[in-house]
């Protein structure tokens, strides 16, 4: 409603502008908005896809890296396993060869005359190099051992030429330690058929006291039981014993260092505890032998037996320096590293270990096997049995329920007897594994999580089958090598780390690029938004400008037309619109011009008509003026001389004649005056001077003027004073003329009785009444008494003097003063004439009705 | 000593009436039948008043009045219009253009007497 009113109030120019804006700007803004939405959507989708692609790429890279690394680890592990298995097998082979060589030594020795000299020559010629380590001393902090001498200075060598630079790899000479020649055998004996040592030679010219070896007490570590076996031998047959030696006890298991001693509140006496490689380089060594024996035949008769006691250190030498790592070999075993080789005999007893106290041995006092390291259950069972170990052992099942879940018995560790007998080492399930791996004399490996490390552990049977060793596929026993799995794939792990680093770097770069791309998309979006906004704003401004211009162009012509119409309206009838072009506006201008021509012509005709009318009117006025003049001129003589005559005549009759002439002349004059007045009114030449008129004075004056005449007729005439309004709005002269006429008529047409004049307020007007008790007017006459030259029949009958124009003139005058005139009458009883006039200025205006 | 009035009118009857009425008032009268005659007469006579018709064939009363008012010799001479022009506008114009009074035809003796008194009084108050 308000909108439509507002639209109605708008000018055409504004409407045109509004329409242009509506049909151009709104779609423009919508288009811009749509474009912005689409751009934003595209940007969002590109950003999203880019982020997804980058993430997918990153994940793929990571997975690729991980897979490659895992593959590499697996490949390296496989290769390492192969290498270590090969190393293990090779080690077992070499050990077997070494043992077989001792068979040959023995067979040769059997050919010698059993004499001190021959045996000494033989022993002295049987030496083998052993590589030992140098002096070690506790480190400054007392937590480890360090070499006492100067450490080997590495001397890096670079590629001499660019052509050699690729994979140029230098390996320093192996540190085999101090090479020493050591006799292979610790003793050589000739035992007669009664078990008495007839010849007994030790290296270096010693001559131990010969003994009766049929008695165990007289054997090495009181543990040898070979005599019964010798007697079973035929010439050429060989006997080879197990490893025999006194068990060496440790003070405690683990590093033997000043710090550790202090921790355990034990005296630091490394020399009295068992040797343990880098854990105790000063320790007491396990001293053991393997005895070879064969009959010495003379003339087909067994004369006795030659025995050779192989120094166990030569067997140890096979395993002690082995490092299943890049180092390959070290002069001192590092038991804590877990990278070392062990040797087990065919019964799975430890015969070579980095820690000497793990090597099974015999109690040098009793010659019985020292109790081995036991787990809690077995320890408890043994203690509960009340038996000695060698009595208890035969009751046990080997490899019983071995598991990593079992833990070593602390009492067992504390007892100082911790030799490893794999058959009863129930907290080490690898024992059972190795035993099975070598069941058919081959080799193999498995990985086990032991001592907090994943270890690859291999086992290879030692293919030596002489004597008792020929009864088992394991031969002499088996070699095992333990290696940290992590070490194998260290390269892979490192390359994995490098790959991870590369991926992380790539990932960072990708992230940066991804963010950069998202940022640049954002920038691009922002630029698009700014560009879109600016161009839209420019377009909007342009469209509004064009709209205003077009509206101006269109409305200027309308404005010109309306201005021209106004100019024409203001009276410039000669003005014509310029006609430009052939459009609707031109048609409009042309139509206007045609209309203007017509109007101008009409005005011209009207002017002529008006001029003619004015001329006619002027002529009429002139005629009236002339008429008046021409009538008055003869009347002057008539009236004047009649008056003079009447004054001069003494005869009453004559004087009356003169008076009659004068009266007739005055009547004629009255007619002339009334006619002229009427004519003036009709010609519009009578002027009215309207103003507030003091009514009471006026009425009294008019009544006074007629009183004389009334009294002559015996009439009373009065103004009724009550309720007289103070003023009436009228032309005083004309109102007096009207009232004189009305009152004069009342006197004239009343023979007896009274005449009353009154006035009172009637609504917003003033009503003036003249009431008489005269002859009255018949109803049919009432209608015509105000017409020109009409008098009622009764008037005529009575032959009253009158122009017949008085009431007509009164009506005209009253109406010209904005009033009304009327009469009520009852024939024979009297009449009442009334006037209704405005009480104040502006009440009903000056508009006349005539 | 009687006063003298010049009565100017081209209509003899009107002159005759005026002469009669002035006679009754005891005035000496002289007559002129037109404007020119009036001016000629006035050139050699000095009346106490001029009663002057307006519409005359040869020279109108207004022209005559103008001529008299333009001549200092006639200063103080009362001139009364004696005319049948009854329109108020005409009367106003006459009074504005040098007439000392207006007598509208038809006249009564009383009207003439009043006009003479008034004009004399107005004219010769000094």
**Which stretches of A141-208 are assigned E, i.e. beta strand?**
145-147, 178-183, 185-192, 197-201
Side-chain half-sphere exposure of A399, counting CA atoms within 13 A: 11
**Residue A703: both structure tokens together:** 């009544």
For residue A671, is it within any domain? Answer: no
Q: Are residues A461 and A400 in the same domain?
A: yes
| A370: nearest Cα among A357, A352, A389 | A389
Q: B-chain residues within 8 Å CB-CB of A628?
A: 84-87
Smallest CA–CA distance, residue B72 to chain A, in Å, is 32
Question: Are A197 and A226 within one domain?
Answer: yes
Stretch 66-85 of chain A: residues touching chain B, C-beta under 8 Å: none
The total domain count for chain A is 4
In this structure, the answer to whether residues A194 and A115 fall within a common structural domain is yes
- Residue ending a domain, choose from A503, A538, A572: A572
- Does any domain span residue A703? yes
**CA distances for B104 relative to A148, B13, B88, B111, angstroms:** 177, 15, 10, 9
Are residues A336 and A435 part of one domain? Answer: yes
pLDDT at A849: 36
pLDDT of residue A790: 56
For residues A470 and A367, membership in a common domain is answered with yes
Sort out which chain B residues have CB atoms less than 8 A from A673's CB and list them: 86
**For residue A219, what are the domain limits?**
110-142+172-248+285-311
CATH (domain of A750): 3.30.565.10
Q: Does residue A655 lie in a domain region?
A: no
Contacts of A638 in chain B (CB under 8 A): 106
Residues in chain A predicted with pLDDT less than 50, given as ranges, are 792, 794-799, 843-850
Out of B21, B24, B106, name the one closest to residue A669 (CB): B106
Looking at residue A799, what is its pLDDT? 46
Residue of B nearest to A642 (CA): B108
Interface contact flag, B105 A665, Cβ < 8 Å: no
If asked whether residues A365 and A468 sit together in one domain, one would say yes
For B90, the closest chain A residue by CA position comes to A625
Q: At which of A488, A512, A535 does a domain end?
A: A488
Q: Is A676 on the interface with B (CB under 8 A)?
A: yes
Q: A635 in contact with B at a CB cutoff of 8 Å?
A: yes
Q: Which of A632, A639, A647 sits opposite B86 (nearest CB)?
A: A632
Which residues of chain B are within 8 Å of residue A625 when distances are taken between CB atoms?
Answer: 85, 87
The answer to whether the pTM exceeds 0.90 is no
Question: Is B84 part of the contact surface with chain A (CB cutoff 8 Å)?
Answer: yes
- What pLDDT sits at residue A846? 41
Q: Mark whether A355 and A296 lie in a shared domain.
A: no
pLDDT the model gives residue A197: 92
Q: Indicate whether A332 and A212 sit together in one domain.
A: no
Last residue of a domain, one of A572, A592, A621: A572
Q: How far is B41 from chain A (nearest CA, A)?
A: 24
3-class DSSP string for A89-149:
HHHHHHHHHHHHHHHHHHHHHCCCCCCHHHHHHHHHHCEEEEEECCCEEECCCCCCEEECC
Query: Which CB contacts under 8 angstroms, 24+ apart, belong to A496-505?
Result: A496/A65, A496/A69, A496/A72, A496/A73, A499/A65, A499/A68, A499/A69, A500/A65, A500/A69, A502/A65, A503/A58, A503/A61, A503/A62, A503/A65
Give the best residue of B103, B106, B115 to mutate against chain A (max A CB count within 10 A): B106
Residue A562 lies in a domain: yes
CB contact under 8 A, A640 and B17: yes
A181 and A306 inside one domain: yes
- pLDDT at residue number A803: 63
- Residue A619, in any domain of the structure: no
CATH of the domain at A302: 3.30.450.20
Number of domains in chain B: 1
Whether B23 has its CB under 8 Å from any CB of chain A: the answer is no
The answer to whether residues A73 and A212 belong to one domain is no
User: Are residues A371 and A445 part of one domain?
Assistant: yes
In chain B, which residues have their Cβ closer than 8 Å to the Cβ of A665? Answer: 106
**In CATH, what number is assigned to the domain containing residue B82?**
3.40.50.2300
Does residue B85 belong to the interface with chain A, where contact is any CB pair within 8 Å? Answer: yes
Residue to mutate among A640, A667, A733, with most B CBs inside 10 A, is A640
Within chain B, which residues score under 50 in pLDDT? Answer: 125-126
A630–B contact, CB cutoff 8 A? yes
Nearest to A629 among B14, B55, B109 (CB): B55
Tell me, yes or no, whether A65 and A136 share the same domain. no
Domain that holds residue B61: 4-123
């Amino acid at each position: 409603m308000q909108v439509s009113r507002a639209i109605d109030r708008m000018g055409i120019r504004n409407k045109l502008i509004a329409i242009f804006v509506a049909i151009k700007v709104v779609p423009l803004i919508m288009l811009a908005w749509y474009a912005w939405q689409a751009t934003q959507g595209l940007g969002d989708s590109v950003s999203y896809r880019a982020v997804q692609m980058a993430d997918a790429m990153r994940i793929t890279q990571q997975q690729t890296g991980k897979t490659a690394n895992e593959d590499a680890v697996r490949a390296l592990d496989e290769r390492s396993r192969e290498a270590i298995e090969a190393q293990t097998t090779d080690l077992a082979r070499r050990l077997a060869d070494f043992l077989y060589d001792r068979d040959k030594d023995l067979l040769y020795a059997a050919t010698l005359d059993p004499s001190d000299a021959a045996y000494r020559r033989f022993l002295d010629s049987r030496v083998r190099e052993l590589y030992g380590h140098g002096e070690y001393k506790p480190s400054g902090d007392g937590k480890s051992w360090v070499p006492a001498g100067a450490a080997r200075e590495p001397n890096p060598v670079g590629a001499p030429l660019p052509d050699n630079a690729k994979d140029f790899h230098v390996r320093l000479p192996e540190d085999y330690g101090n090479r020493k020649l050591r006799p292979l055998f610790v003793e050589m004996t000739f035992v007669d058929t009664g078990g008495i040592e007839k010849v007994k030679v030790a290296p270096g010219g010693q001559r131990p006291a010969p003994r009766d070896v049929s008695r165990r007490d007289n054997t090495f570590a009181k543990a040898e039981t070979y005599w019964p076996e010798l007697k079973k031998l035929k010439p050429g047959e060989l006997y080879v014993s197990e490893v025999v030696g006194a068990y060496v006890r440790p003070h405690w298991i683990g590093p033997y260092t000043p710090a550790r001693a202090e921790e355990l509140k034990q005296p630091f006496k490394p020399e009295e505890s068992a040797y343990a490689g880098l854990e105790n380089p000063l320790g007491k060594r396990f001293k053991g032998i393997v005895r070879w024996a064969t009959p010495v035949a003379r003339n087909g008769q067994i004369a006795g037996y030659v025995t050779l006691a192989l120094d166990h250190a030569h067997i140890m030498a096979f395993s002690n320096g082995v490092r299943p790592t890049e180092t390959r070999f070290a002069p001192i075993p590092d038991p804590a590293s877990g990278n070392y080789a062990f040797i087990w005999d065919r019964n799975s007893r430890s015969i070579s270990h980095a820690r000497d106290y793990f090597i099974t041995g015999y109690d040098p006092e009793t010659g019985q096997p020292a109790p081995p390291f036991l787990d809690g259950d077995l320890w408890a069972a043994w203690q509960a049995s009340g038996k000695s170990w060698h009595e208890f052992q035969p009751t046990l099942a080997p490899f019983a329920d071995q598991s990593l879940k079992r833990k070593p018995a602390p009492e067992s560790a504390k007892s100082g007897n911790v030799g490893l007998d794999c058959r009863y080492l129930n907290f080490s399930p690898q024992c059972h594994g190795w035993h099975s791996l070598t069941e058919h004399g081959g080799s193999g490996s498995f990985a086990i999580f032991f001592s907090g490390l994943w270890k690859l552990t291999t086992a290879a049977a030692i293919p030596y089958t002489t004597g008792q060793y020929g009864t088992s596929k394991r031969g002499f026993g088996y070699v095992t090598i333990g290696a940290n799995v992590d070490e194998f794939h260290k390269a892979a792990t490192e390359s994995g780390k490098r790959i991870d680093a590369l991926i992380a770097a790539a990932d960072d770069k990708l992230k940066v690029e991804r963010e950069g791309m998202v940022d640049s998309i954002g920038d691009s979006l922002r630029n698009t938004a700014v560009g879109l906004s600016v161009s839209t704003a420019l377009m909007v401004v342009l469209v509004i400008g064009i709209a205003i211009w077009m509206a101006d162009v269109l409305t200027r012509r309308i404005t010109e037309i309306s201005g021209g119409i106004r100019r024409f309206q203001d009276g410039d009838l000669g003005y014509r619109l310029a006609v430009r072009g052939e459009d609707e506006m031109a048609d409009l201008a042309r139509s206007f011009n045609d209309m203007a021509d017509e109007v101008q012509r009409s005005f011209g005709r009207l002017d002529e008509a008006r001029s003619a009318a004015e001329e006619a009117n002027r002529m009429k006025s002139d005629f009236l003026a002339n008429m008046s003049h021409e009538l008055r001129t003869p009347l002057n003589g008539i009236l004047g001389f009649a008056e003079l005559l009447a004054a001069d005549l003494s005869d009453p009759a004559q004087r009356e004649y003169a008076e009659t002439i004068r009266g007739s002349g005055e009547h004629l004059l009255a007619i002339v005056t009334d006619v002229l007045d009427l004519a003036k009114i009709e010609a519009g030449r009578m002027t009215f001077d309207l103003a507030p008129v003091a009514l009471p004075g006026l009425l009294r004056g008019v009544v006074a003027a007629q009183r004389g005449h009334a009294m002559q007729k015996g009439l009373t005439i009065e103004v009724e004073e009550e309720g007289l309004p103070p003023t009436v709005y009228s032309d005083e002269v004309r109102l007096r003329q009207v009232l004189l006429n009305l009152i004069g008529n009342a006197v004239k047409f009343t023979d007896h009785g009274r005449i009353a004049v009154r006035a009172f307020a009637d609504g917003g007007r003033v009503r003036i009444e003249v009431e008489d008790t005269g002859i009255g007017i018949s109803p049919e006459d009432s209608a015509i008494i105000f017409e020109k030259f009409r008098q009622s029949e009764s008037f005529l009958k009575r032959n009253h003097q009158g122009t017949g124009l008085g009431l007509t003139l009164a009506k005209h005058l009253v109406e010209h003063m904005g009033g009304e005139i009327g009469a009520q009458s009852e024939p024979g009883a009297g009449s009442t004439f009334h006037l209704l006039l405005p009480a104040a200025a502006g009440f009903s205006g000056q508009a006349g009705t005539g | 000593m009687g006063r003298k009035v010049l009565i100017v009118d081209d209509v003899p009857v009107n002159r005759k009436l005026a002469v009669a009425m002035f006679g009754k008032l005891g005035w000496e009268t002289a007559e002129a039948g037109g404007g020119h005659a009036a001016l000629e007469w006035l050139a050699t006579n000095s009346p106490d008043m001029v009663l002057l018709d307006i519409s005359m064939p040869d020279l109108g009363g207004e022209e005559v009045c103008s001529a008299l008012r333009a001549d200092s010799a006639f200063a103080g001479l009362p001139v009364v219009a004696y005319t049948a022009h009854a329109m108020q506008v005409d009367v106003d114009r006459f009074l504005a253009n040098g007439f000392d009074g207006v007598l509208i035809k038809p006249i009564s003796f009383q009207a003439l007497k009043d006009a003479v008194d008034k004009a004399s009084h107005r004219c010769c108050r000094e």
